[in-house]
Amino acid sequence: MNDIYQHFRKDEEPFIDQALEWKRVVTEQYRIKLTDFLDPREQVILTSVIGHSDEVKLGLFGGFQESERKRAILYPEYAEPMINDYQIQAFEVTYPNKFASIEHRELLGSLMGIGLKRQKFGDFIFAGDIRQFVCSEEVAEFVFFHLTHIGRVKVGLEKIPLSELHIPEQHVEIREDTVSSLRLDTVCSQVTRQSRQKAQALVKNGLVKVNWKLIEDTSYSLLEGDMLSVRGFGRFKLTNIDGKTKKGRWRLTIAKQK
């Protein structure tokens, strides 16, 4: 089982250990395990850890089919999780939208400011003046009573069913590219159509995030499932790393969010 670590980064080992422990609990105690919301990279790792196990199955859901952040259910083969088992509550924010606006970073900052970790929240939905988000049911009442302001704007919350979420239309461009290496500056150069030198400047100037974490190391190695965010150019997900060409270049499938 230790061989699994070689496929991932050193800083991902704590999450791998957690995933292995979840798997052990389901296998030995024969019961369902529900996780917090996982980002896309964590979903890739967990899927790899579970593999094609006959004893433990895996389900992922984040409130709607196209969600980016999802809760996972690990379950024995006898069980069949339903949507309600993911225990997700949706909220719509009520605020004076004629006089104030609410940005993504302000909503996230206010939710973190009431003392909850990011993993308790799923996707945020911004559609026109509509502001919605999903969270774990276990913190829903706490959020309902404690989120009274977003920035300087006084707000209220309305609990809504998942069916009333205003799911934004997905605009994704799928690209198939090849790169000489999986270094951050090399991939960044390819997805932004910039020179390697300009891509290095983007990284060193703090304009690039990998899996929502600022990375300033140009040699940082990317892996399948990573989400790459480049300020001014958008977000790119490495959906597949499909091996090498005969000339030794890496084949990539990249989803660009428009």
Cα–Cα distance measured from residue 91 to residue 133, given in angstroms and rounded to the nearest whole number = 6
Taking only the tens place, the pLDDT of each residue in 226-251 is 999 999 999 999 989 999 999 999 99
Taking only the tens place, the pLDDT of each residue in 134-169 is 999 999 999 999 999 999 999 999 999 999 999 877
CA dihedral 207, 213, 182, 70 (to 10 degrees): -130
Helical spans, DSSP H, in the chain: 13-29, 40-50, 104-113, 137-146, 184-192, 196-204
Three-state SS at 244: strand
The whole-number pLDDT of residue 178 equals 94
Region 181-199 average pLDDT: 95
The whole-number pLDDT of residue 169 equals 75
- Token pair 């990539």 is found at 252
Q: Determine if residue 232 is left, alpha or beta; phi over 0 gives left, psi from -120 to 50 gives alpha, anything else beta.
A: left
Cα–Cα distance measured from residue 219 to residue 104, given in angstroms and rounded to the nearest whole number = 30
The whole-number pLDDT of residue 51 equals 82
The CA distances from residue 36 to 117, 168, 169, 222, in Å, are 10, 23, 25, 24
Cα–Cα distance measured from residue 137 to residue 129, given in angstroms and rounded to the nearest whole number = 25
* Residue 2 pLDDT > 70: no
Percent of the chain with pLDDT over 90: 81
- Model pTM? 0.83
* Residue 1 pLDDT > 60: no
Cα–Cα distance measured from residue 113 to residue 109, given in angstroms and rounded to the nearest whole number = 6
CA 169 to chain centroid: 18
Taking only the tens place, the pLDDT of each residue in 15-43 is 999 999 999 999 999 999 999 999 988 99
Taking only the tens place, the pLDDT of each residue in 59-106 is 999 999 889 999 999 999 888 899 999 999 999 999 999 999 999 999
Domains with residue ranges and CATH for the chain: 2-85 (3.30.1370.160), 88-164 (3.30.70.330), 172-257 (3.10.290.10)
Pairing of strands 227-230, 208-210: antiparallel
The whole-number pLDDT of residue 71 equals 98
Taking only the tens place, the pLDDT of each residue in 39-55 is 988 998 999 999 877 78
Q: pLDDT class for 213, splitting at 50, 70, 90? A: confident
Cα–Cα distance measured from residue 29 to residue 43, given in angstroms and rounded to the nearest whole number = 23
